[in-house]
Amino acid sequence: MSRRKFSPQLTLLAFAVTAILIGCSERNGQEDRTDSSDTSAAIDETAAVRDASNPFFMEWETPFGIPPFEQIRDEHYKPAFERAIEEQRADIEKIRNNPEPPTFENTLEALELAGPSLELVSSVFANITNTDTNDSLQELEVEISPILTREIVAIYLDDMIFQRVNTLYEQRDSLALDEEQARLLELTHRDFVRRGAALDEKSKIRMKDINARLSELNTVFAQNLLKETKGFELVITEESELAGLPAAQIGSARSKAESKNRPDAWVFGLDRATFESFMTFADNRELRKQMFDGYRSRGGQGGENDNRDVLSEMANLRAERAELLGYASHSEYQLETRMAKTPEKAEGFLLEVWKPGLERTRAELAEMQKIVEEEGHEFIIEGWDWWYYAEKLRQKKYALDESETKPYFELQNVREGLFHVANRLFGLTFEALENVPLWNPLVQPYAVYGSEGEFLGVYMVDYYARDSKRGGAWMSTYRDASDIRETNVRPIVTNNLNLSMPAEGEPTLLNFSQVETMFHEFGHGLHGLMTTVRYPRFSGTSGSPRDFVEFPSQFMEHYASEPEVLAVYAKHTETGEVIPPELVEKIRASSKHNQGFQTTEYIAASLLDLNWHNLSAKQAAAVEDTKKFENDVLDSYGNPAEIGPRYRSPYFSHIFAGGYSAGYYAYLWSEILDADGFTAFKEAGNIYDPELALRLKENVYQAGGRRHADVLYRDFRGEDPSIEPLLRIRGLN
């Protein structure tokens, strides 16, 4: 998952947006004062016309409060931010200057309720710049990010606000707070301290500058990567060079070529679905190499979109910021609040799985090299061969051909399978919505209801790749759940994938990895939809540490391959026949196939992440060649030359343009939890066991972040997790 909103882990998203256009707002105000009265009048008249048509300045009379996407234009965002900032500032001033002694209501809850307009516009803007961006929005995003961050930091470093929070924290044992109130006070105080509230003035000034620059670099990194990804095209003009590729992918490539006025060609891009399929099935080794090199070289090719200097500066600034706060490294700072606690524990855990993963990798490589020799070739397997020969080995060992399974995994049927599991586990129902606003015509919206018929929220899915959409798969929200002072706000949750658009009239068929991705993101969606917390700080995924937040999503992946679930959704797209048991058994038997590769490339990236962020400021500043640093790190762990990390540094957006810095290990850490948790259901003999499902619902999907992650898991499972189920499921024990 990747949730890229503007929230910088403050108690309320609105805080995160307070600063968005402060510089512009102040500058515009000064310009108004220096203009002539006639010019000022003209400006005021223009502003009035502009404001009258701006959807952000109106009440939204839309179903469920869904943003009126068709009315929102690019030019609406900036004035909406400007006005909302003023409102946010007024809310903060009321808290800061309140003459009454601080109370939970006039300080903590007031902070949670501050700036609703900013929360609104920032949520829409952040989501749209992820799914339907353009040059104008990207320019505004670069302008917004550093100004936003400066204001966020200013709030954390505000002595008057902090003193009110700190006073409550010191009185916490006598305030008679309930569990969720006490948790909010604990985390809010912790945030202020960890963001520098106790620093001296000189350090606070430096902290503001560092965070503003990091915010700018984060946005630049993401935009550079999007441009690099969009800029690559593999154009094939000879039909013979398409050998091995699935018919659906060929049709999609033809459609893409036609959209670019190349009816005589086939065009392949670098979205993940296209890349994986091409690397798996294309017989032409030279073309596989071109695709591989295009994917792996993004962000590191020189020119204006090169990310190497960007990421190097980010690592340096993060290390400096950590040292200002009294930590040895950014990793130490980040992991203090997570389940792993320390970089050493996170690395030790990774290495515990790394060693059996490497052993499996060597065995896989030997088996694939044998196939190369049997085919009469003399080359040694390289990175661009692994996917291709792994598929051949899979077919050889398990007689499982993806072209045989994909007709059973039609997109809409898989979606119905997701809904079925949610209904059996938690009693949820999903009703398709019509005539509601959508940000793209391909979006599918649903109203979601709980087991007692209560409205839980709106669920909107956006499955297909397009040039205006960032890569990957993620869950996000247009509105988080909360129930402050009995308002009962329900969320608007989105799931986003990047599936290749099929040729016109053809169904969207998935491989099983894509099916698992749908179940994964659906798990995140359920976490957001089912939450029953009072405060936005704890809502769904927002309140969970990185190494716990993937548990609810990865847990759902297990259901994808269960026979009784497959019987519901795995129906042949032409005949309607349910997938036969023998094919199910092949899928399950092959689930451990290529686990050496998958484990190794993932852990390599996780170790690379930790090593970037284990650097002190002095060490980070001394890194002159990012590629050499990366290679030295990988060599030190014995990473196989044929398998690079899942992400090279210049396109490692999880850690340089997302929220996973010093935290990419979290997926595997959470896998301990999901493997152990699902094992409980299997041992109970019922994958929908009512007692376990209720504990899972109450202590994970509904609980958000109201308690420590360790406590939440034990409340569900009854004991701490064991690593053995993870090793067994991956076939590494």
Tell me the C-alpha distance between 81 and 1, whole Å: 27
Q: What is the DSSP pairing of strand 234-236 with strand 429-432?
A: unpaired
Tell me the C-alpha distance between 461 and 156, whole Å: 35
Active-site residue, from 521, 557, 630, 671: 521
Helix (H) or strand (E) holding 492: strand 492-499
* CA nearest to 12, candidates 80, 95, 78, 77: 95
Helix (H) or strand (E) holding 359: helix 343-374
Note whether 203 and 118 are within 8 A (CB).
Answer: no
Tell me the C-alpha distance between 72 and 138, whole Å: 16
* Longest pairwise C-alpha distance within the chain: 85
Tell me the C-alpha distance between 389 and 282, whole Å: 11
Tell me the C-alpha distance between 276 and 271, whole Å: 9
Amino acid at 474: W
Tell me the C-alpha distance between 196 and 64, whole Å: 39
| Phi and psi based region of residue 449 (left: phi greater than 0; alpha: psi -120 to 50; beta: remaining) | beta
* CA nearest to 559, candidates 432, 694, 686, 721: 686
Amino acid at 269: G
Tell me the C-alpha distance between 86 and 279, whole Å: 52
Number of Cβ within a 10 Å radius of residue 485: 11
Strand order in the sheet with 444-449: 429-432, 444-449, 455-464, 492-499, 474-479
Residue located via tokens 């809010």: 188
Q: Give the burial string for 34-63 (b: 16+ CB within 10 Å, else e).
A: eeeeeeeeeeeeeeeeeeeebbbeeeeeee
The residues, ordered by sequence, that sit 6+ positions from 190 with a Cβ below 8 Å of its Cβ are 337
Tell me the C-alpha distance between 694 and 690, whole Å: 6
> Is residue 447 helix, strand or coil?
strand
* CA nearest to 443, candidates 491, 408, 493: 493
Q: How far apart are the first and last CA of the chain?
A: 27
Tell me the C-alpha distance between 591 and 473, whole Å: 21
Residue 459 phi, psi dihedral angles, 5° rounding: -120, 120
Tell me the C-alpha distance between 606 and 667, whole Å: 9
Amino acid at 230: K
402 is catalytic: no
Tell me the C-alpha distance between 127 and 58, whole Å: 20
The catalytic site residues sit at 521
